[in-house]
Amino acid sequence: MTMTMKKARIISDALTIDVVITDRELRFKPPTKGFMIINSSPLDIHRNEGVQPKFGTARMFKCTAAPKPKNIRKIIADGNCLFRAFSFCLTSFELHHLTIQRVICDYMEFTYRGVRTSGIGREHWGTEIENLAFADMCNCMVCVYNDHDSARNIKQYEGYGPRPRADRPATDNADLTTFLLYNAYNHFEVVLSP
């Protein structure tokens, strides 16, 4: 098996996207201030303690329900939108996106055995693999609403969750903090409430 084939196998084994079931409901559990502090502290990111995004309340929602435009937090479209969205979710600000990008890429290189190189450039765009790495790294769910013609041609939320590990018991995904993202034509934005 060539190195390229091994990398492709690692990526496909690591990436788990839910099967298309359009009538299911998902649980939205927004991040608490404590979750944000705990997950941003190891990144050496200093967040403004007094500022917290206005996420909606915990509730169930249909996976096919498109987010309302008033509930979508616009993110700067500079090629770093996924990392900016993650930065906003953890710190209330987009400006830590380069730190988030570096940490996610380092995590992927260590965890997924060479999927990316640590010298990744600023021009790197976030993909499903980065969604999975963030979910795994922060032990949370990342649900992305794809509002464009995806491979399955279905507009719905797709969920990315953490992998079970020996040092972390497998938990029900409903118990995990949930981040909702909106993806339209390769641009990510944060959904504050479904």
Q: Which residue has the higher pLDDT, 173 or 43?
A: 43
The pLDDT, as a whole number, for residue 169 is 64
CA distance 187 to 94: 14
> pLDDT by residue (tens digit) across 77-109?
998 999 999 999 988 889 899 999 989 888 888
Query: Mapping DSSP to helix (H, G, I), strand (E, B) and coil, where does residue 133 land?
Result: helix
Averaged pLDDT, 141-160: 79
Indicate if the pLDDT at residue 179 is higher than 70.
Answer: yes
The pLDDT, as a whole number, for residue 122 is 53
The pLDDT, as a whole number, for residue 16 is 44
CATH number for the domain spanning 142: value is: 3.90.70.80
> pLDDT by residue (tens digit) across 21-69?
556 788 889 898 888 888 888 777 766 655 667 888 888 888 888 899 9
> pLDDT by residue (tens digit) across 17-34?
444 455 678 888 989 888
Q: Which domain holds residue 128?
A: 3-191
CA distance 87 to 85: 5
> Considering its fold, how many domains does the chain have in total?
1
The pLDDT, as a whole number, for residue 144 is 92
CA distance 93 to 170: 31
Chain position carrying tokens 């917290």:
52
